[in-house]
Amino acid sequence: MTVSGFTFNAFSENTYLLHDTTGHCVVVDPGCYEPAEQEALQQFIAAQGLQVVLLVNTHCHIDHVFGNQFILDTYKVPFLIHEADLATLRAVPTYAPSYGFPKYNPAEPTGFLTPGEPVRFGETELEVRFAPGHAPGHVVFYHAPTSTVIGGDVLFQGSIGRTDLPGGDYATLITSIKTQLLTLPDETVVYSGHGPVTTIGQERRSNPFLK
């Protein structure tokens, strides 16, 4: 599995495309708000000859969902989130204008992710792990063959997700990190929702929030 990343919007959110040798592609957390951002993502997909087959959100805070409807309109694919984050997603239109995003176009999921039931595309299978604390329905996607985890806003290089937003809880987040991420091998590469790539081993050794 190959991970291609893009950094979009004023929150510097990381959007990921997951694809394999079949050319099938999953879009994770499309943060593309401006037309130029949407065009950049679409052009990359076309240039690489990828076929988008699925849209998923790790969680549904505003910066991770800007491009959901764009992906649905463009590629006509299923859209999955964890059901516990449905209220988070539906709340975004109520505050998007006050955050400076009056053109946000809301999207509704077509189904729900279930931890323990894998996400499959092409020749790839992703394990869905439930990791609330930053958001009530936060999930991460683990690909064991490449030692890769798409971690959303749970764990960052030297930091962790904020817990002061609605549905956040510090103790729950720490438990999620310890049970769902730190149980992975040290060499596991973590693609976070913001900032640079890190590894489980690096965060286990040096993250001040995990001491």
Residue 60, φ and ψ in degrees, nearest 5: -120, 35
pLDDT of residue 104: 97
Query: Cα(28)–Cα(150) distance, rounded to whole angstroms?
Result: 9
3-state secondary structure at position 138: coil
- DSSP β-bridge partners for residue 199: 189
pLDDT tens digits in sequence order for the chain, 211 residues long:
999 999 999 999 999 999 999 999 999 999 999 999 999 999 999 999 999 999 999 999 999 999 999 999 999 999 999 999 999 999 999 999 999 999 999 999 999 999 999 999 999 999 999 999 999 999 999 999 999 999 999 999 999 999 999 999 999 999 999 999 999 999 999 999 999 999 999 999 999 999 8
Query: Cα(41)–Cα(18) distance, rounded to whole angstroms?
Result: 13
Where along the chain do its domains lie? Answer: 2-210
Name the CATH topology of 2-210. Answer: Metallo-beta-lactamase; Chain A (3.60.15)
pLDDT of residue 49: 98
Query: Cα(67)–Cα(133) distance, rounded to whole angstroms?
Result: 24
**Cβ 84 vs Cβ 123: under 8 Å:** no
pLDDT of residue 211: 86
Residue carrying structure tokens 């590629």:
75
| Residue 86 CB partners (closer than 8 Å, separation 6+) | 60, 109, 137
